[in-house]
Amino acid sequence: MARVVLVRCESYDTGKVFDAVKRSVDLLGGIEAFVKPGMKVLLKPNLLSARLPEDAVDTHPEVVRAVVRLVKGAGAVPFIGDSPGGFGKNIGEIFEKSGMKRIADEEGVRLEAFTTSKFVNGIPIARQIFDSDRVISIPKFKTHSVTVLTAAVKNMFGSVVGLYKAECHSRSPKEEDFSGIIARVYSITKPHLTVVDGIIAMEGDGPSSGVIRKMDLITASEDAVAIDSCLAKIMGVEPLDILVTKEAYKNRLGEADLSKIEILGEGLDAFVAKDFKLPQTTPLKYLPKSVISSVASLIRFKPYIDNAACRRCNLCKLTCPVDCIEIEKRRCSIDYKKCTRCLCCHEVCHYRAVSIKRNLLTKMVWG
C-alpha cells in the first residue's frame, strides 16, 4: 500500500515546523531511508512568484528550512532550486521576497535557478534533476483555476525550464491534454520524497489570487499521487475528479484509490474541510461533455486586467502563450478572440491585477 503521513502543525514557528516535518519523515522510516551521507540532494519548493511568505503563494521558507536541516543531519548536501512561473528573469526577486534567500544564507545552502536543461521526449527538464542523487519536492497546498488542485504532482512541472510551461498551455488548451503533459513531466522527474506545506493553504481562485486558509497540515509521502488524492478529499473533491491525479494514476505513477493508501500520523477526517472554497472555474469542469458542448458559448470564464491595479510589469504579456495581451500606459487589454482561457496571466500576476470574470449566465447558474 502507498503511505501518506498527515501531521498537525499550527504555526510557522521554526521549532514547531521542524518537529512536524521530522515526525512526518520519521513515520516513513526517517530521512536516512531517503538520503545517504555525501549525497547531493535537490530540494524543489514551489516558487511561483515574488510574494511574501504570509501570502501563501510560495512554499513557506520554514518548511524548506526544516527539510534542509534533516538532509544535513543525515550527512548529505542539500541545495534549493526552482524555475518560476512566467518569465524567468525575476527569479532573484522571487528568491528574495519569498524568504528563500534568507533561509539559504542562514543555513549555508546554495540557491539555483533552473536555467539549463536536458531534453527528454521533447521536454526541457532542468539539469539539476539529473545532476542530483536525490530529489525532495516541497510543494504548497493550493487551489488552481485550471487544474483545481496544485500540490505534489504539479510541483514537479516547475522542473520544466523557461517559457515552455506557458507554451504547453497553447499547445494543449484542453485540460485533459494539459493534465497529461503534467503527468508526463512528473514521470520524468518523480521525486524520492514529497513534503507538502499545508499549514497555511490557499482556497478559491488559486494558485496566486486565492484566499489564504489555515489548514495546520504537513503531509509527506514517497507517492505524490497518493498525497494529492488525500488533499483532494480534504478539499471535498473525489481524487479522480482532479484530472492531473487521474492522468498520473492511469499511467501507474502512483496510487489514487484511498482504500489502498495507508494513512499515518493523524486521520484524514481530522483535516477534511467541508466548506473549502474551490476555484470559480470548477463547476464547469464537472458538467457532462454533452452539456458543455451545447452551452460552452453561453457559460464563460475569462481573465480580466484591472487597469488601476496593474503595475505594467509586463509579466502577463511575456507569459501569454498566444500573445493576446497588450499593456499600455493608459489601458491594458486582452484580445478574447485569441485568448485560450489558459489563465497563465492570472497565475503569474504578482499584484492581483488579473482576475477571473464570469458572464451573467454563469453567475445565475452558480451564484
Q: What is the DSSP string of 68-136?
A: HHHHHHTT-EEEEEE--SS-GGGHHHHHHHTTHHHHHHHHT-EEEE---EEEETTEEEEHHHHH-SEEE
In the prediction, which pLDDT does 362 show? 47
From the list 228, 109, 85, the residue with the least C-alpha distance to 157 is: 85
DSSP assigned state of 276: P
CATH number of 282-366: 3.30.70.20
For each successive 10 residues of the chain (367 residues), what is the average pLDDT? 98 98 98 98 96 97 99 98 73 94 98 95 96 98 95 97 79 84 97 98 96 98 98 97 97 98 97 93 61 53 90 89 91 92 86 78 46
Reported pTM: 0.92
From the list 333, 166, 177, 312, the residue with the least C-alpha distance to 243 is: 177
In the prediction, which pLDDT does 262 show? 98
Neighbours of 120 (CB within 10 A): 15
In the prediction, which pLDDT does 298 show? 53
Sign of dihedral through CA atoms 198, 200, 206, 208? negative
Cα separation, 1 vs 131, whole angstroms: 30
In the prediction, which pLDDT does 63 show? 99
In the prediction, which pLDDT does 366 show? 43
Is there a shared CATH topology between the 2-270 domain and the 282-366 domain? no
Domain boundaries, the chain: 2-270, 282-366
In the prediction, which pLDDT does 346 show? 86
Q: What topology does CATH give the domain 2-270?
A: Rossmann fold (3.40.50)
In the prediction, which pLDDT does 256 show? 98
In the prediction, which pLDDT does 365 show? 45
Question: Residue 195 carries which side chain, given as an amino acid letter?
Answer: V
Say if CB 157 and CB 144 are below 8 A apart. no
In the prediction, which pLDDT does 300 show? 61
From the list 32, 39, 46, 64, the residue with the least C-alpha distance to 132 is: 39
- The alpha carbons of the chain give a radius of gyration, in whole angstroms, of 20
Q: Under DSSP, is residue 362 helix (H, G, I), strand (E, B) or coil?
A: helix
End-to-end CA distance of the chain: 41
Neighbours of 127 (CB within 10 A): 17
Sign of dihedral through CA atoms 212, 213, 218, 224? negative
Name every residue whose Cβ is closer than 8 Å to that of residue 230 and which is 6 or more positions away in sequence.
4, 6, 219, 258, 261, 263, 268
